[in-house]
């Protein structure tokens, strides 16, 4: 068993658990982001096809007028998403790497890591708005991203007093 130096702070158990969860989550996000970015060139080629199908072959005459705009918005969102897949996921990978740097610093009990992590996680939530605009897809993405982001930011903030 490793002995602790007299001046060395011990990492709180909660910080260790949240850190491990962050390492796993961010590692997964980086890996899947790289895969999605690599496949993005293939999926972005579907965007013009979907646009053509929607404009020429989608018959919304049987759909109530109140839903037609909603359906058109979904098609528009998905088309924009497919056209920008690589850019979206490369941006997310970059921000996840920055967040991972913040987690590493917090693991070493450095308060700077908290601010880096918080900024990066906050920016990740806004990525879809930048690439596909304000629509239902980006709002759902934002909400799901911000919920987990806020949860982890709160959990890390509870350990700020242990960091220097």
**pLDDT on residue 49:** 65
In a 13 Å sphere around the CA of 110, the CA atoms on its Cβ side amount to: 10
Number of domains in the chain: 1
- Taking residues 65-81, report their average pLDDT: 75
CA geometry: angle 86, 80, 59, nearest 5 deg = 140
**Structural domain contains residue 80:** yes
Contacts of 5 (CB under 8 A, 6+ apart): none
**Structural domain contains residue 39:** yes
**Structural domain contains residue 63:** no
CA geometry: angle 101, 105, 107, nearest 5 deg = 115
Residues 45-67 as b or e (16 or more Cβ within 10 Å = b)? eebeebeeebeeeeeeeeeeeee
**Structural domain contains residue 30:** yes
Is the pLDDT assigned to residue 37 strictly greater than 80?
yes
Cα separation, 110 vs 35, whole angstroms: 32
Among 95, 76, 87, 84, which Cα is nearest to 136's? 76
Torsion of CA 44, 48, 50, 54, to 10 degrees: 150
**Structural domain contains residue 47:** yes
**Structural domain contains residue 142:** yes
pLDDT tens-digit map of 83-117: 788 889 999 999 999 999 999 999 999 999 999 99
**Structural domain contains residue 88:** yes
**pLDDT on residue 71:** 73
pLDDT tens-digit map of 14-31: 999 999 999 999 999 999
**Structural domain contains residue 5:** no
Domain boundaries, position 31: 13-54+68-162
Average pLDDT of the chain? Answer: 85
């Amino acid at each position: 068993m490793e002995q602790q130096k007299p001046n060395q702070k011990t990492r709180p158990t909660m910080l260790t658990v949240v850190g491990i969860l962050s390492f796993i989550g961010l590692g997964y996000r980086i890996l899947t982001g790289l895969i999605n970015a690599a496949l993005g060139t293939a999926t972005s080629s579907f965007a013009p096809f979907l646009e053509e199908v929607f404009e020429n072959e989608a018959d919304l005459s049987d759909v109530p007028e109140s839903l037609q705009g909603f359906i058109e918005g979904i098609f528009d969102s998905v088309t924009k998403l497919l056209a920008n897949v690589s850019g979206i996921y490369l941006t997310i990978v970059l921000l996840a790497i920055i967040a991972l740097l913040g987690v590493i610093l917090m693991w070493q009990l450095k308060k700077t890591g908290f601010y880096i992590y918080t900024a990066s996680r906050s920016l990740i939530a806004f990525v879809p708005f930048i690439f596909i605009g304000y629509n239902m897809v980006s709002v759902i993405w934002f909400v799901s991203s911000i919920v987990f982001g806020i949860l982890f930011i709160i959990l890390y903030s509870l350990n700020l007093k242990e960091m220097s």
